[in-house]
Structures are given as structure tokens and as C-alpha cells.
Amino acid sequence: MKSDSSRLFATAIPAVMLLVQADCGIWDMEVNQTLNGWLRGNIPVYQVVVLNLCNITDGCLLGNIHMTCGDFSTSLPVDPLKFRLINFNDCLLVDGGNTYSGNVISFKYAHQGPYPMTISSVTCLPQIPPT
């Protein structure tokens, strides 16, 4: 009987995790990109603002946030802890760390044209409600 109980417990946990993770996703993140000025007079500087817009009652903790970014390169240094290229068209936001509901992450880059940037994947993490 002990082995049957273990089997039931092991199959119940993934179902619970799926329910928690289904409450948030890439649709809870918004990416805005605007022309912000010029570097050395001829290289456009773009500002990227990423918002966690989740409106679940206890909030959403999102982590491991990946964005599309083409072959991202910049003439203006970007803090790699905020945003960095991992592979072609795969950039990591906040070094894979977490962002809470309402958080804003922003950075600037300089390039001849804007990179198409969207959220490609996130990990939804359960939040423990305050006691």
C-alpha cells in the first residue's frame, strides 16, 4: 500500500504546479520601445521598458524571462545583469531573476535600427501570500 500512496502523491504535485503556473504567462509582460536620442549624432538610442502587468490578487512572480532580440548588439553598454544576448534571438532579462507585479525593467541601447523585442518565455513562480 505504501508504494500506491507514493505514486498518487507524485502524480498530484505536477497537477498542482500546472494550476499555479497557468495563472500567469507572457501575456502579463508588456514591452515598449521608443527612440530616446542619438549617440555621436548619428546612431539612434532606443529605450526599452518591460512591465510586469499581472493583476492576480496576490501578484505574480515571474522569472527566467526571455525576449526575442535578433542578433542584439549595441554601441551603448547595457548592464548584462539587466539584459544580455544568450543566443541568436534569445536574450535574458534581469539575469534570469524574478520580477514582481508592477515592476519595471528598463535599459537603453544604440543601434542603426530597433530590434524587434517581445517576451518569448517566462516561468511563473508561486507566491506565498503574506501572513
Per-residue tens of pLDDT for the chain, all 131 residues: 444 433 333 333 343 333 344 478 899 999 999 999 999 889 999 999 999 998 877 678 899 999 999 999 999 999 999 999 999 999 999 999 999 989 999 999 999 999 999 999 999 887 665 56
CATH of the domain at 48: 2.60.40.1170
Q: What's residue 82's pLDDT? A: 96
Confirm whether 22 is domain-assigned: yes
Smallest CA-to-CA distance from 126 within 10, 19, 41 is with: 19
Q: DSSP string spanning 59-107?
A: --EEEEEEE--TT---SS---TTTEEEEETTEEEEGGG-EEETT-EEEE
CA–CA distances in Å: residue 29 to residues 5, 62, 118: 40, 9, 9
Q: What's residue 108's pLDDT? A: 98
Confirm whether 53 is domain-assigned: yes
Q: Which domain holds residue 65?
A: 2-125
Q: What's residue 115's pLDDT? A: 97
H or E segment at 116? none
Confirm whether 130 is domain-assigned: no
CB atoms within 10 A of CB 54: 22
Confirm whether 131 is domain-assigned: no
Looking at the 3D structure of the chain, how many domains does it have? 1
